[in-house]
């Protein structure tokens, strides 16, 4: 088991170049002899599968969706960052790097972030070449907007559907390779387990969601591009099917899990409306370019927004953080909203909301400009709430959105299991303790288009991958265990539905390991989660069989992993006795309520190792070295 | 509100299938249509019955996974709205609601409301892309693209691949879906080099998959949750003709 980050030598500007100069390569004629499995076909997975197939590797891609075009990358609205400096406003690779490290509250690995900033420019070029219809100015040049946590305009966008357009671009590149016979696509197939042979990742076990057939697939390397685990909270902005199963089962096979407690709560989501709620809807951060966030100054205000005069409104972000104002980073904006609502000044049903008001922008720019910029978002808001945001301010509240934690990877994006690479949101790599807006799309595509094509070659060229087939014991065992797992879920015959357990788990996590955490709540969660898990295995009911499309079984299989993984998250949150980015421990704050880091003791990546059922996982620490950025208290004032 | 639902139940492709009636009570107007079905499904599971299978994922109207015919209209009564974004305030107490899957030869039923739309993927694989390998690209601003062209391209690219156009068409034609992809790419300089081969091969592939022909009913445009214009179909026909001559 290797636990070494393998950061290349040299000054930070040259590390990636040095790596590429020194890495081993695979001869073009030999590439087709290597088989690569890609799990997940979002931005990272589609980009990787397409790029590797173009290079000549023999690729098999898997998704539980009915088509690779559906992954949740598609829902990203606002945009993608790149250090193009087309606006002549002072941007550079260095500044994007610096903003990302600072935005991540100094808990990310410098070398990875610098590489991300470097390749960001190529991503835009690649996407334009694929025909991604980015927004343009009248002169025909690419348009940019601003985003939280940055003082330059470096965000490229396609209306409010940037994620969709980037994913369609990657999907089309992947489709081309499928059509050419270079990628074998397996839709409606969910990964059940990772196959490890002689310490190397050598394949996966899958379940066909339509026929129920459980199969093993062998390869020379496995890429997990399976997204984040925000749905551990049940309610989140993630799609309904997002889950931790692939990553968690890899963890149980020996891949370390990095910083599981780092979750991002997005400040601008539509508030919860009732118990039946199945998911939360994000309103893009880009709205904060023109919308002003406020709550009434007085507690328990009964008047509607329009009746509250200007002098009785508290534009709290503008007041507390004058230099970034409404574009303060997500963790800070979310906590400020919680603070206002906890203070009894929230608006809407239950007082769980704040206003996002466009009245000033509409007066200044005219309704047509606002419509042009955000029309589809305003429509979506009206559809969900029945209120017209051109007339009354939107009501928003923070919601779980993204997970910075993920499987631990080294500079080459390889996990602690040789041959298992982890890309995109599924890894822990680039965002530290908090991700800045428009950086997830950038990271997913950077990993898929511009990092893995290099680092995978280096792994293959080192050799030592022996020939195996599906008849060996490790493969048969993994397949047998997956089959038994499905059978056990079907045979409990209890009374409660899989979703009811998921909802209950989500409530524990939101209350005790959500926007603010403390030792007491976390300790309670460590008792409540195992109890709920025990009930799950005694009182679950899943109707139907395992031999056909059975959506309750799919949910049960994923909830079973959330019920274990959540405990790891809480454990990590307990151990991190500091506040950093999205991880806010109430015991560690400054007198004015800001997050208080403890660089002396906690400037490390927490990498957890599975130690078997019933045993405590072991914490390993990767010390973070900041050679280029000076550690400072993050200030947006 | 209390509702009576008539839902298409079919255990598999070879089963005949039938409409079955269910009551759902105490439905809140703030629920989405799919959340209303969630409530029904939870009740069914608790009773030991199999829940209604339906496809869904993002529940934000962008992934294109959900799709069902609600009272005869794909995605239901609200225009430019996917089933997941439809909310129960569009219905009233006592309503009877008929819920059926997309019906088209090229979209075989998998189970209940779930259909197999892989034909769409195969059509895209026959030319719905720009043939550019990773790493080939020049600077993103090297070719100016007029805002008008970029906007037209985006109008077409907004397609979510849900299949409502096929379900709405009396001929089960996929013309709007295919035209949207052709329109998206041909509006941009990057997509022009392959315009002829793309149009030819995608149109032939659409026919081979078993989709019908377009006879100008415009039902697709009316059903499209992204409001994609049937004008793109005229453009597709033009591109196809150009590829022949």
Cα angle A63, A192, A240; round to 5: 55
HEC readout, chain B:
CCEEEEEEECCCCCCCCEEEEEEECCCCCCCEHHHHHHHHHHHHHHCCCCCCCCCCCCCCCCCCCCCCEECCEECCCCCCCCHHHCEHHHCCCCCEEEEECCCCCCCCEEECCEECCHHHHHHHHCCCCCCCCCCCCCCCCCCCCCHHHHHHHHHHHCCCCCCHHHHHCCCCECHHHHHHHHHHHHCCHHHHCCHHHHHHHHHHHHHHCCCECCCCCCHHHHHCCCCCCCHHHHHHHHHHHHHHC
Residue A420 — φ and ψ, nearest 5°? -105, 110
Q: Inter-chain contact A179–B80, Cβ cutoff 8 Å? A: no
Q: Inter-chain contact B140–A125, Cβ cutoff 8 Å? A: yes
Q: Inter-chain contact B35–A125, Cβ cutoff 8 Å? A: no
Interface test with B, best of A72, A119, A128 (most B CBs within 10 A): A128
The Cα A187–Cα A171 span in angstroms is: 13
Tell me what pLDDT residue A118 has. 98
Percent share of chain B, pLDDT over 90: 99
* Paired strand residues for B19: B8
Closest Cβ opposite residue A67 in set B49, B118, B134:
B118
Which of chain B's residues have a Cβ under 8 Å away from the Cβ of A142? Answer: 140-141
Interface test with B, best of A78, A83, A87, A130 (most B CBs within 10 A): A130
Tell me what pLDDT residue A1 has. 52
CB atoms within 10 A of CB A501: 23
State the residue for tokens 């994923």. A558
Interface test with B, best of A172, A385, A456 (most B CBs within 10 A): A172
SS3 A520: helix
How is residue A76 written in tokens?
């990203």
Burial of B135 (0-12, 13-18, 19+ CB in 10 A): middle
Residue B146 has pLDDT above 60, yes or no: yes
User: By C-alpha distance, which of A50, A169, A127 is closest to B137?
Assistant: A127
Tell me what pLDDT residue A384 has. 92
Q: Inter-chain contact A75–B62, Cβ cutoff 8 Å? A: yes
Which of chain A's residues have a Cβ under 8 Å away from the Cβ of B141? Answer: 84, 86, 141-142
Whether the Cβ atoms of residue A489 and residue A557 lie closer than 8 Å to each other: yes
Which of chain A's residues have a Cβ under 8 Å away from the Cβ of B86? Answer: 383
Instruction: Note whether A50 contacts B: Cβ–Cβ < 8 A.
Output: yes
Closest Cβ opposite residue A131 in set B12, B147, B184:
B184
SS3 A35: strand
Identify the H or E element spanning A482: helix A473-490
State the residue for tokens 């006592």. B94
Q: Inter-chain contact A165–B116, Cβ cutoff 8 Å? A: no
- Closest Cα of chain A to B137: distance in Å? 5
Architecture in CATH for domain A473-623: Up-down Bundle (1.20)
Longest CA–CA separation in chain B, Å: 63
Instruction: Note whether A384 contacts B: Cβ–Cβ < 8 A.
Output: yes
For A266-401, CATH gives 3.90.700.10
Please compute, for residue A514, the number of CA atoms within 13 A of its CA located in the half-sphere on the CB side: 21
A576 is catalytic: no
Closest Cβ opposite residue A179 in set B12, B126, B190:
B126
Residue B161 — φ and ψ, nearest 5°? 65, 35
Extents of the domains making up chain A: 266-401, 473-623
Q: Inter-chain contact B60–A168, Cβ cutoff 8 Å? A: no
Residues 6+ apart with CB under 8 A from A222: A36, A37, A39, A194, A201, A202, A203, A204, A419, A420, A421
Q: What is the mean pLDDT of each run of 10 residues along chain A (637 residues)?
A: 87 98 97 98 98 98 98 94 97 97 96 98 98 97 90 93 97 98 98 98 98 98 98 98 98 98 95 93 89 96 94 96 92 93 93 96 95 87 94 96 98 98 97 95 98 98 95 97 98 98 98 96 98 98 96 98 98 98 95 92 98 96 96 84
Q: Inter-chain contact A69–B45, Cβ cutoff 8 Å? A: no
For the four alpha carbons of B52, B53, B55 and B57, in that order, the dihedral sign comes to: positive
Closest Cβ opposite residue A70 in set B45, B63, B80:
B63
* Paired strand residues for A142: A136
A330, A517, A576, A597: which one is catalytic?
A: A330
CB atoms within 10 A of CB A209: 21
The Cα A538–Cα A506 span in angstroms is: 19
Which of chain B's residues have a Cβ under 8 Å away from the Cβ of A127? Answer: 140
Domains, chain B: 3-100 (3.10.20.30), 118-244 (1.10.1060.10)
Identify the H or E element spanning A480: helix A473-490
- Closest Cα of chain B to A553: distance in Å? 11
Burial of A309 (0-12, 13-18, 19+ CB in 10 A): exposed
Instruction: Note whether A136 contacts B: Cβ–Cβ < 8 A.
Output: yes
Percent share of chain B, pLDDT over 70: 100
**Dihedral over alpha carbons A514, A519, A524, A528 (to 10 degrees):** 50
Which of chain A's residues have a Cβ under 8 Å away from the Cβ of B160? Answer: 164
Whether the Cβ atoms of residue A241 and residue A64 lie closer than 8 Å to each other: yes
Q: Which residue of A has its CA nearest to B191?
A: A131
Q: Inter-chain contact B134–A173, Cβ cutoff 8 Å? A: yes
- Closest Cα of chain B to A555: distance in Å? 12
Q: Inter-chain contact B60–A127, Cβ cutoff 8 Å? A: no
Whether the Cβ atoms of residue A583 and residue A262 lie closer than 8 Å to each other: yes
How is residue A525 written in tokens?
């969660």
Closest Cβ opposite residue B121 in set A175, A379, A449:
A175
Q: Which residue of A has its CA nearest to B48?
A: A543
């Amino acid at each position: 088991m290797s636990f070494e980050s393998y950061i290349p030598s040299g000054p930070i500007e040259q590390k990636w170049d040095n790596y590429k100069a020194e890495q081993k390569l695979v001869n073009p004629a030999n590439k087709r002899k290597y088989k690569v499995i890609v799990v997940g076909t979002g931005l990272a997975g589609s980009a990787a599968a397409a790029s590797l197939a173009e290079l000549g590797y023999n690729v098999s891609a898997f998704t539980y969706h009915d088509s690779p075009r559906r992954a949740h990358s598609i829902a990203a609205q606002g945009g993608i960052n790149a250090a193009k400096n087309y606006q002549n406003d002072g941007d550079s690779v260095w500044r994007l790097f610096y903003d990302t490290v600072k935005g991540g509250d100094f808990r990310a690995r410098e070398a990875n972030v610098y590489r991300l900033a470097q390749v960001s420019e190529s991503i835009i070029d690649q996407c334009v070449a694929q025909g991604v219809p980015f927004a343009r100015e009248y002169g025909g040049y690419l348009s940019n907007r601003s985003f939280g946590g940055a003082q330059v305009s470096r965000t490229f966008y396609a209306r409010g559907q940037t994620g969709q357009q980037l994913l369609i671009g990657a999907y089309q590149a992947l489709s081309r390779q499928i059509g050419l016979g270079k990628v074998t696509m397996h839709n409606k197939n969910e990964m059940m387990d990772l196959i490890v042979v002689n310490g190397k990742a050598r394949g996966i076990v899958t379940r066909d969601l339509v026929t129920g057939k459980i199969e093993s697939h062998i390869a020379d390397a496995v890429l997990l591009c399976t997204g984040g685990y925000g749905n551990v909270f049940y309610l989140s902005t993630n799609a309904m099917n997002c889950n931790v199963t692939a990553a968690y089962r890899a963890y149980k096979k020996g891949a370390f899990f990095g910083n599981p407690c780092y979750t991002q709560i997005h400040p601008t989501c539509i508030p919860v409306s009732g118990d039946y709620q199945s998911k939360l809807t994000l309103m893009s951060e880009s709205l904060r370019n023109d919308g002003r966030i406020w709550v009434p100054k007085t507690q328990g205000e009964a008047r509607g927004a329009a009746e509250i005069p200007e002098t009785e409104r508290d534009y709290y972000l503008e007041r507390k953080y004058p230099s970034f104002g409404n574009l303060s980073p997500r963790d800070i904006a979310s906590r400020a909203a919680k603070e206002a609502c906890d203070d009894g000044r929230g608006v809407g049903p239950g007082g769980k909301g704040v206003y996002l008001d466009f009245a000033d922008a509409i007066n200044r720019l005219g309704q047509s400009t606002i419509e042009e910029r955000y029309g589809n978002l305003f429509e979506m808001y009206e559809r969900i709430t029945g209120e017209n945001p051109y007339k009354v301010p939107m009501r928003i509240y923070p919601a779980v959105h993204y997970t910075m934690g993920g499987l631990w990877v080294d500079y080459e994006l390889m996990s602690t299991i040789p041959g298992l690479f982890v890309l995109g949101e599924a890894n822990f790599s680039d965002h530290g303790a908090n991700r800045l807006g428009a950086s997830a799309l950038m990271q997913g595509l950077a990993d898929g288009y511009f990092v893995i094509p290099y680092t995978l070659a280096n792994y293959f060229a080192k050799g030592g991958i022996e020939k195996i087939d599906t008849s060996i014991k490790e493969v048969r065992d993994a397949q047998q265990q997956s089959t038994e797992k499905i059978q056990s879920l079907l045979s409990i015959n209890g009374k409660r539905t899989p979703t009811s357990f998921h909802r209950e788990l989500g409530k524990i996590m939101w209350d005790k390991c959500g926007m603010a955490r403390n030792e007491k709540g976390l300790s309670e969660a460590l008792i409540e989660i195992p109890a709920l898990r025990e009930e799950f295995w005694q009182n679950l009911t899943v109707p139907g069989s395992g031999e056909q499309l059975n959506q309750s079984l799919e949910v049960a299989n994923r909830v079973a992993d959330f019920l274990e993984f959540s405990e790891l998250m809480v454990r990590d949150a307990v151990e991190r006795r500091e506040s950093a980015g999205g991880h806010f421990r109430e015991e560690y704050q400054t007198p004015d309520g800001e997050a208080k880091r403890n660089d002396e003791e906690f400037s490390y990546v927490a990498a957890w190792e599975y130690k078997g059922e019933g045993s405590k996982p072991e914490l390993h620490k990767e010390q973070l070295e900041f050679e280029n950025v000076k550690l400072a208290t993050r200030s947006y004032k | 509100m209390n509702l009576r639902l008539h839902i298409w139940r079919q255990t598999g492709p070879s089963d005949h299938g039938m409409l079955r009636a269910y009551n759902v009570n105490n439905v809140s107007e703030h629920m989405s249509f799919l959340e209303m079905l969630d409530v029904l499904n939870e009740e069914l599971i608790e009773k030991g019955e199999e829940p209604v299978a339906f496809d869904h994922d993002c529940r934000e109207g962008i992934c294109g996974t959900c799709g069902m015919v609600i009272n005869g209209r794909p995605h239901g009564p609200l225009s430019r709205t996917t089933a997941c974004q439809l909310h129960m305030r569009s219905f009233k107490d006592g309503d009877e609601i008929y819920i059926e899957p997309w019906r088209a030869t090229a979209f075989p039923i998998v189970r209940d409301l779930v259909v197999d739309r892989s034909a769409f993927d195969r059509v895209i694989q026959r030319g719905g892309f720009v043939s550019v390998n990773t790493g080939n690209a020049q600077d993103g601003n090297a070719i100016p693209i007029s805002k008008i062209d970029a906007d037209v391209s985006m109008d077409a690219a907004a397609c979510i691949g849900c299949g409502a156009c096929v379900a709405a068409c009396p001929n089960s034609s996929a013309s709007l879906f295919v035209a949207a992809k052709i329109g998206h790419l041909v509006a941009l300089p990057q997509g022009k080099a392959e315009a002829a081969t793309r149009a030819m091969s995608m149109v032939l592939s659409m026919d081979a998959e078993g989709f019908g022909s377009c006879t100008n009913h415009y039902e697709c445009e009316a059903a499209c949750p992204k409001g994609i214009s049937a004008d793109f179909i005229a453009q597709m026909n033009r591109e196809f003709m150009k590829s022949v001559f």
